[in-house]
Structure 1
Amino acid sequence: MSYKSILVHLDTSESVHSRLELSLSLAQQFDAYLTGFFTVYRPEPGSFYVMAGNAEYLVEFEKRRHERQGALERLFRAELLRLKVAGEWQWSTEYANRCVPRAARLADLTIVGQYDADDPESFVAEQFVENLVLSSGRPVLIVPYAGQFHGVGSHVTIAWDGSREATRALHDALPFLARAKQVTVLTINAMSGEPPSSRIPGADIAGVISRYGAHVATQEIEGVDDVPIGETILSRAADLNADLLVMGCYGHSRWRELVLGGATRSILKSMTVPVLMSH
């Protein structure tokens, strides 16, 4: 079991090189075809003509963006050759929330970066990552903007509650799980509000994962009421020295807004390790 096609979203953010390095490493690991898909936020041109001088600013802004895009494309192609990774470069000026999910549907795994509020270039579209996970139908690996991640999947923590979303994420992550040195199935308040017969215990799903050759352990935490679930998951993943967190993404569309579950919002905001999410 493997990922044979990987898509990495590239932009002009400060963390893009870390994301590119990880995607190349994973493409090597899985012998996968790597597509670098470049797209950035582009403001409506008309919004710059309200004040005198803004038209010139827009021209200079686009020139700098074009130069950075060209440099990144040259680096991407050079790394493909150096590492002997098969792949291609694509780019689009279309709205990212339309073109990136469409491209992601053709890949086994999509890699994107976490939004960094201190780096304007990391913004490519409103709720970009959330929209991608909810609309692409494919697993999405989100890379934190802080830190270097040369490889992931050696020590995996699975946030498990027996739901459809968690089940989808777990099975989408099987190529990682089958290669992991250690997998921990983490359940938090898994039985609250429902009879035991209505959920799959962590031990049962651990048995399923172990059939793929992984060494699996379970941790069950009950009675967590005063700490947000997302924070508890991240804290326990850090205690376990996890280099990958796997979890379902809970959310739905409401008019023009995406409504996410509390744990999903918390993880996307505060993640410290790469997170594989599915919906």
Structure 2
Amino acid sequence: MTTQIYLEPEQATKAAGGQRVQAGVKTILLHVQNDKSLDSRVQTALALARACEAHLSCVHITPIESYVAFDSFGGVFVMNDVIAAVDEEAVRIRKSLHEKLRNEDVSWDYVETTANIASQIVSRAALTDLVVTGREPHRTDFAGPTIGLLGELLHRARTPLFIPADDGTPPDPAGTALIAWDGSYEAANAVRSAVGLLKVASQVRILQIREKAEEAFPGTKLLEYLSRHDIHAELFTEEASSKEFVSDALVAHARAIGAAYLVMGGYNHSRVGEFVFGGVTRSLLKSSPVPLLIAH
């Protein structure tokens, strides 16, 4: 594994109106790769960093497989033209991003490394508060399908993922946040992970999707938990009739209130969670008109 680190001097950041924001998000990891969603991820990460006065740590990971080719007899070799192309792309991305970030009012650093994508993100996420990544697969496809990579990150990392909306519009962290609540441990983990960012939101709403059976953590308990963090939320409840209903209900409610992002637990394993959010996780990881803050 090879790694190159590029540091930019720290810069003082200011919240809107010159007031310091007491947010709990102080380090954001941005996953950099060459795809059409890179600009939206950068703009999303910058919006979050400004709102929270957070440091932006950028990592560009070239899959080790990008340098390797296989012959018909199972042999492995490295091609000089492949090495040159991959290295040239890394230089181009670095220069482009450096030029963009130098004009922004956030502190940042930039790392280039060659390794397994998921393992590197998980490792570097250990001491960050939020990971900004996207749905686009790596151009070499060595990372596997995007849904597979995001699923692996959810299961292995203990840091929430922030995924931009399909149209790439950067979120307004000071806008309205919507929490998808089903009473599961995963949903609770997502809320705890999101507290630092929820403190910046002007409004927090909770949409409780449930079966008729009593959930593990009632929505009123969630309201109490958030209030102890000085986060005052409104609770709305709906009954779940199907997995498709849940996904549609979440998106419809988010659009109706103009939610800046949706907080949800991913791949729940409880009986309630599997019924309500198992398919919803897969659906929204593939496509979502609303930015997601998701944790397992």
* Fold similarity call, TM over 0.5: yes
Whether contact under 8 Å (1:3, 1:30) holds in the other structure is yes
Q: CA deviation at 1:170?
A: 0.4
With over 3 angstroms needed to count, the CA separation of the structure-2 counterparts of 1:76 and 1:44, relative to structure 1, is: closer
Matched residue type, 2:139: E
One-letter amino acid of the counterpart of residue 232, structure 1: A
- Distance in 2, Cα, partners of 1:242 & 1:124: 34
The CA distance in 1 between the partners of 2:243 and 2:183, in whole Å, is: 22
Distance 2:263 2:140 in 1: 23
Show the counterpart of 2:18.
none
Unaligned stretches of 5+ residues in structure 1: 253-259
Indicate which of 130, 139, 156 corresponds to 1:121: 139
Partner of 2:278: 261
Q: How does 1:74-153 map to 2 (within 5 A)?
A: 74-115=95-136, 121=139, 123=141, 125-126=143-144, 127-152=148-173
C-alpha separation in 2, matches of 1:124 and 1:36: 21
1:264 Cα deviation after fit: 0.8
Amino acid at match of 1:36: C
TM-score, normalization: structure 2? 0.77
Distance 2:98 2:50 in 1: 15
**Aligned pair 1:45/2:63, yes or no?**
no
Q: Is the 8 A contact 1:173 1:276 kept in 2?
A: yes
Structure 2 matches for 1:12-91, cutoff 5 A?
A: 12-41=34-63, 42-43=65-66, 45-47=68-70, 49-50=71-72, 60=81, 62-91=83-112
Q: Which residues in structure 2 correspond to 1:158-169 (within 5 Å)?
A: 158-169=179-190
TM-score under structure 1 normalisation? 0.82
Q: Deviations over 1:146-170 (max 9, x none)?
A: 3321534511111111211111100
Give the distance between the partners of 2:142 and 2:174, measured in 1 at CA: 27
1:122 and 1:235 map into 2 onto residues whose CA distance is 35
What is the rounded CA distance, in whole Å, between the counterparts of 1:103 and 1:96 in structure 2? 11
Residue 4 of structure 1 contacts residue 108 of structure 1 at CA under 8 Å; is this kept in 2?
yes
1:191-230 pair list within 5 angstroms: 191-192=211-212, 194=213, 196=214, 199-225=216-242, 227-230=244-247
Structure 1, residues 191-232: CA drift from partner, whole Å, max 9, x if none?
43x3x3x53322331233234344421111115238342233
**Alpha-carbon distance change, 232 to 101 in structure 1, aligned in 2, over 3 angstroms:** same
CA contact (8 A) 2:28 2:131 kept: yes
Q: Is the 8 A contact 1:177 1:209 kept in 2?
A: no
Look up the match of 2:259: 242
Query: What amino acid is the match of 1:240?
Result: I
Percent of pairs with identical residues: 26
1: CA distance between counterparts of 2:136 and 2:100? 25
How far apart, in 1, do the equivalents of 2:164 and 2:102 lie? 24
The residue number in structure 1 matching 2:26 is 4
Counting matched residue pairs gives 260
What letter is aligned with 2:250?
A: I
In the aligned structure 2, how far is the partner of 1:147 from the partner of 1:83? 19
Q: 1:27 to 1:3 in 2, by over 3 A?
A: same
Q: 1:255 is matched with which residue? A: none
CA 1:167–1:38: 2 relative to 1, 3 Å: same
